[in-house]
Structure 1
Amino acid sequence: MKICIINGPNLNLLGKREPTIYGSETFENFLISLQNKYPEMTVEYFQSNIEGEIISKLQEVGFSHDGIILNAGAYTHTSIGIGDAIAAITTPVVEVHISNTFSRETFRHQSYISNHAKGVIIGFGLKSYTLALESFK
């Protein structure tokens, strides 16, 4: 089984960025533990701060992989283009968020991704990615 995790803007700063919200572990360290926990799965990782690169990655893997785990960061609330890219591909997408977006600013309550996603996992820290991966088993 081939899964691609795609992270959006500012998620490259995990471990440094607002640790009270996002925790103190880097995503790279977490990814190693995730890959070790699921050796039967090929778990790839892509991160970009650029909306067009995220769309291009969705299109690249959206017909060949068994699943995509997407944390589009702030683009979740602003990018019709990312939502349209998900609608255009055949690979199922699980939307994840580390923090509970509904306990934060009102603008974070809107998602242009959710209505195209297989499911949405919000607010369980990095475990949100583990739960999303489990949904593909």
Structure 2
Amino acid sequence: MASLPHILVLNGPNLNLLGTREPDVYGKMTLSELESFCRTAGEKLGLEVSCNQSNHEGELVGWIQQARDSAQGLVLNPAGYSHTSVALRDAIAAVGLPLIEVHLSNIHKRESFRHHSYVSAVAEGVICGLGVEGYRLALQALAQKLKG
């Protein structure tokens, strides 16, 4: 039996505080609940989904690099690193896996420094402002892309 396509969902800094950090901006779902939501959504789409979160840029870069050998696609919420991390951008470009960038809030309706993302230039697509639904849509887009 063939294994399911593997998608790695990565969440960046401060997303470990979901549910308690500015719930009016980021929602009331905890990180654990979000990860369960992603795994369930993936199952329905015929995907195996694993999730990781880190507050450390280098750890995220390492996971992206490791995904080259273990995943067929990535969903990334780079959070604050969106606006600062050339290292994340370069790691994504280097591994060559399809990646969908996700933001819970609409970064274009927020402070001007949030309007630019280094990650967007190397992403297949960007979903922002739809809350946790953005993760399901990102998984759906990757599932369709992998089916050809």
Please, what TM-score do these two structures have when normalized by structure 1? 0.95
- Does structure 1 conserve the Cα–Cα contact (< 8 Å) formed by 2:98 and 2:142? no
1:25 equivalent in alignment to 2:29: yes
Query: In structure 1, what residue type is equivalent to 2:10?
Result: I
Q: CA deviation at 1:28?
A: 1.1
Q: What is the DSSP-based 3-state SS (H/G/I as helix, E as strand, rest coil) of the residue aligned with 2:88? A: helix
Unaligned regions of 5+ residues in structure 1, if any? none
Q: Across the two proteins, how many residue pairs are aligned to each other?
A: 137
**RMSD of Structure 2 on Structure 1 (CA):** 1.1
- Does structure 1 conserve the Cα–Cα contact (< 8 Å) formed by 2:7 and 2:73? yes
1:6 equivalent in alignment to 2:13: no
- For 1:36 and 1:81, the matched residues in 2 are separated by 31
| Partner residue, 1:129 | 135
Query: In structure 2, what residue type is equivalent to 1:12?
Result: N
- Does structure 2 conserve the Cα–Cα contact (< 8 Å) formed by 1:69 and 1:96? yes
- Does structure 1 conserve the Cα–Cα contact (< 8 Å) formed by 2:41 and 2:139? no
Query: In structure 1, what residue type is equivalent to 2:107?
Result: T
- Does structure 2 conserve the Cα–Cα contact (< 8 Å) formed by 1:54 and 1:82? yes
| Partner residue, 2:115 | 109
Instruction: Point out the structure with the larger helix share.
Output: 2
| Partner residue, 1:51 | 57
Unaligned regions of 5+ residues in structure 2, if any? 144-148
- Percent identical: 45
- For 2:37 and 2:68, the matched residues in 1 are separated by 25
Query: In structure 2, what residue type is equivalent to 1:86?
Result: I
- For 1:8 and 1:49, the matched residues in 2 are separated by 6
